[in-house]
Amino acid sequence: MMNDSLMKTGLHYFGTMSASISHEIKNRMAVINEQAGLLKDLVLLAEQGREIDLDRLMRLAESLKNQVALTDGIIKNMNSFSHTVDSFQRSTDLGEVISLAVALSKRTADNKGVGIECRLPESSISIVTAPFLLMNLVWLCFETMMPFADMEHPVIVGGEKSETGVTIMLSTTQWPEGSGPDLPETIVSIAKALHAEIIINADEKQIRIELGAGG
């Protein structure tokens, strides 16, 4: 169960990501709207006797299909995100959690001129955890690192098996001088709820989320 503080943090995360997703869908719809409008314009001109460029029509049709596929991907991510709150704790794949957290963070990162990439584990790593809380934790760690990253120096989010469970690493090459960024209280609270340990590794320029075998 989540306490009030975690609920508040979680709701804020859910709202931020939902707004970002809706914005992304609106953008895809805007592209589809302009390209469909252009197709219509070209057909109307052809009806008036202007020669029609079939290659141009084909490129537009292909681009429209691509936009629909992109929108489908966004909606699938939205659906997966919505289902992370179905049960508090469950068995899930570490790579899936990381890739979903990164995909949802990308637009906000882009708007702030910050890159985010994921380096997924080579093989599937199953963990029992609260996926929503874990994604919220990854997001907050990313937010903490954002001031020290940009498009040329992105934050890399990776995951691996450890001796006691699994580790999620967030790293950037532009680490602040000294021991690293200060961790906000929200990170500490979520880590505690997940029985996770947050380690700042200044040598590796990383924030490490250490999760036990049971999540």
Partner 1 sequence: MKILLVDDEVDFVSALSERLHLRGLDADWVSRPEDAVNRVERSHYDIAILDVKMPRVSGIGLKVMLQKKCPDMKFIFLTGHGSQESYEAGAAEAGEEYYLMKPLKLETLIQKIDEVLSVENKGRQT
- Which CB atom, from 72 or from 110, has the smaller least distance to partner 1? 110
Burial of 94 from C-beta contacts in 10 A (0-12 / 13-18 / 19+): buried
48 binds partner 1 (CB under 8 A): no
For residues 178 and 142, give the distance between their C-alpha atoms in angstroms, rounded to a whole number. 19
* Under 8 Å between Cβ of 97 and 55: no
Coil, helix or strand for 98? helix
For 126, the 3-state DSSP assignment is strand
Nearest approach in angstroms of CB 108 to partner 1 is 10
**Do 93 and 129 meet the contact criterion of CB atoms below 8 Å apart?**
no
- In the complex with partner 1, the residue whose CB is nearer, 63 or 80, is 63
Q: Which is nearer to partner 1, 148 or 183 (CB)?
A: 148
Q: Is 201 in the site for partner 1 (CB under 8 A)?
A: no
Stretch that binds partner 1, among 27-35, 77-85, 120-128, 137-145 (CB under 8 A): 27-35
214 near partner 1, judged by CB under 8 A: no
Which spans of this chain sit near partner 1 (rule: CB under 8 A)? 19, 22-23, 26-27, 29-35, 37-38, 41, 45, 60, 63, 67, 110-113, 151
